[in-house]
């Protein structure tokens, strides 16, 4: 389970970096897409009872919504 968690955490980190780059470039739609990807990635460990509370600042995801 450790490898499963590590791979997912790494994928979340990659998506966070991509979202930050999109935000800096003011590409709002890309920010939204990366935020959606992060949410999808966080659903997987939640289904397996893995706590992801400290993986992502949830306000960062709220800001990634279209129209926000």
Residue 50 and residue 14 in contact, taking contact as beta carbons nearer than 8 Å: no
If one compares 21 and 61, the residue with the highest pLDDT of the two is 21
Residue 31 and residue 23 in contact, taking contact as beta carbons nearer than 8 Å: yes
Condensed to tens digits (0 to 9), the pLDDT of residues 1-43 reads 799 999 999 999 999 999 999 999 999 999 999 999 999 999 9
């Amino acid at each position: 389970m450790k490898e499963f968690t590590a791979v997912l955490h790494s994928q979340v980190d990659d998506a966070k970096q991509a979202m930050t780059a999109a935000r800096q470039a003011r590409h709002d739609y890309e920010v939204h897409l990366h935020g959606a990807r992060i949410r999808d990635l966080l659903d997987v460990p939640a289904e397996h009872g893995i706590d992801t509370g400290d993986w992502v600042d949830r306000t960062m995801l709220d800001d990634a919504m279209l129209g926000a």
